Amino acid sequence: VSVDMEVVRRRKREVVDSWSEGSRKGLERHDRVELIMGNARFTGPDSVEVHLRDGGIRDLDADHIFINTGERPRIPAIPGLEDVPFLDSTSIMELDEVPRHLIVLGGGFVGLEFAQMFRRFGSEVTILQADDRLVGREDEDVSRALQEIFEEDGIAVRTGTTATEATAAEEGGVTVRLDSDDRDDITVAGSHLLVAAGRVPNTDGLGLEQAGLTAEEDGYISVNERLETRVGGIWAMGDVAGSPPFTHMAYHDYRIVRANVLDGGSESTEGRIPTHVLFTDPQLGRVGMTEREAREAGRNVRVAKLPMSRVARAVEMDETRGFMKAVVDGETDRILGVAVLGVEGGEVAAVVKVAMMGDLPYVALRDGVLAHPTLAESLNNLFMTLE
């Protein structure tokens, strides 16, 4: 099997351009909305100047200003990295060839998704993770299972490994020198290097001080539960406000601000249930608290766990890697969180999210009549295993 990366890239561009163009047209069809392309910075608490993309500067004043500038890839301070043609989460999607050996610096969401994708395209892949496990915010059993799945796919995973230097290889490509928990002074050589070491907020060029604002030490803008900054008339939302860095969470921020500003509501971020999906194969669907977070919060924790090998639909699909895990409050019987590492894990986790939104006890999913043989039906069996 061969992969034509030019075709892959063309399809990616068509999908992205379609969504981007649709969003732009959606804005421009409103007579009272003007879309201005350029880089803006504050000149006061109610004014900005925009360096227009086509040249020139435009000054704007407003009673309401909303900051939604997102994040960009974080480039770690590794000696020699500036002299190596490394890739980030944007540029790697513009490749017109399958890398011979892709080195991935970082074991978070971005690194894992691209690592597995290019492994399946035919690349040799090595993941370098400074922490002692992948996706460190998850429970240890989830991290361990993910690493086992990746290693089954033929991906080399090196945890507890810090990159100390990057150099261009004589025959092309890149060599990364490592400081490992196992031994010092080892190297790994590859044809391409993907830097997936986290992200940083786009606040350094906003002139926040001119508006009476200052970014936190990590660069994020501090807001209250209504996403208001400390300066009246200025809001921040999405990644730049420290919200969970996912599109759906940023969109929920918008809903909060819309309800409060336009409709006089009192919506807030308090009590919302975080949710996200790691789009590996199998997927990792996450809703709410991990077991570790629940115990650290002092909750009376009960845990339900079910391997995907006991899920009828997964067996029929021959997709039995992974497991499902739910955390329940032992006093209220309410579900605190779930991790579904399995085929269509994000879709199954969404069913649990709806139950949590409805404040249903776990027995509602344990005893609910769900169609056989669906993946969602496995929630019956999951909650039967409750400790």
Q: What residues act catalytically?
A: 372
- Is residue 95 within 8 Å of residue 9, measured between CB atoms? yes
Instruction: Report the alpha-carbon angle 160-113-162, nearest 5.
Output: 20
Residue from 146, 145, 111 nearest 130 by CA: 111
- Which tokens in the block code for residue 32? 């009272």
Q: How far is CA 30 from CA 24, 25, 184, in A?
A: 11, 9, 61
Three-state DSSP class for 209? helix
- Which tokens in the block code for residue 23? 């969003």
Q: Where are the beta strands (DSSP E) in the chain?
A: 38-44, 47-52, 57-61, 65-67, 71-73, 101-105, 124-128, 156-158, 161-168, 174-180, 186-190, 192-195, 199-201, 234-236, 275-278, 283-288, 301-307, 323-329, 335-342
- Which tokens in the block code for residue 315? 């067996």
Single-letter amino acid code for the residue at 24: R
Other beta carbons within 10 angstroms of residue 10's beta carbon come to: 12
In angstroms, the CA 207 to CA 67 distance is 12
- Which tokens in the block code for residue 180? 């490992």
In angstroms, the CA 261 to CA 172 distance is 55
DSSP 222: P
3-state percent helix, strand, coil for the chain, nearest multiple of 5: 30, 25, 40
Helix axes 109-121, 140-152, angle to 10 degrees: 20
User: Phi then psi for 283, rounded to 5 degrees?
Assistant: -70, 155
